[in-house]
Amino acid sequence: MRYLEDVPNMKNALLIIAKLLNEHKITWGLGGSMLLLYYGIQCDVNDIDILIDIDDLDKFRNAIKGFTFTRESGNDEYATAHLYSLEINRVEVDFMIDFRVKQHSGEFVFPFGKDSIEKKFILDGETICLSSLGEWKNAYRAMNRKAKYLLIEAYLGSKNINS
């Protein structure tokens, strides 16, 4: 991810997280703005969003027990069952397990599990797992983040990818 060279704290935080999750054999996927950045979609990246398979919740809790973190379970905007936030190298990292967005018509549920990893690549010796760009388009639409939704839609359209 050549764009990460401009934000070394983000890159280092991602590598620490990848190593931790991979060592604990946790199914995970990079999401949010950093996922967009991987595809060359220019946007601001303020934190790192990671999806975790609900089946790996206990392994995940064990993996982060040495870190100081906050935990949330839903708020006015999200119905996510388990949201953990921690800081690594001055970078906020949000881990979402059973990621859900509240909508007027119900909830958007982000489908994530072992079969949801869209792609993997190696960054400085660590495997980075990517969640679905198409599902993030749907998530951004559910969150009313039109700018990011449109960026992904334009990218997918330019590649002739249906999502």
Evaluated on CA atoms 38, 83, 98, 106, the torsion sign reads negative
* pTM for the structure as a whole: 0.91
- pLDDT per residue over 88-124, tens digit each? 988 999 999 999 998 888 888 999 999 999 999 999 9
Residue that is written with structure tokens 């960026």 in the block: 151
Q: What letter does residue 131 receive in the DSSP assignment?
A: -
Q: Which residue has the tokens 């018509």?
A: 105
Q: Which fold has domain 2-131?
A: Beta Polymerase; domain 2 (3.30.460)
Amino acid in position 113: G
- Res 163 pLDDT > 60: no
Q: What is the mean pLDDT of residues 10-16?
A: 94
**Per-residue model confidence (pLDDT) at position 27:** 98
**Tens of pLDDT along 22-73?**
999 999 999 999 999 999 998 888 899 999 999 999 999 999 998 889 887 7
Contact between residue 71 and residue 80 where contact means Cβ atoms under 8 Å apart: no
User: How sure is the predictor about 158, in pLDDT bands with cuts at 50, 70 and 90?
Assistant: confident
Confidence (pLDDT) at 79: 81
Indicate whether 7 pLDDT > 60.
yes
What is the per-residue pLDDT for 6?
61
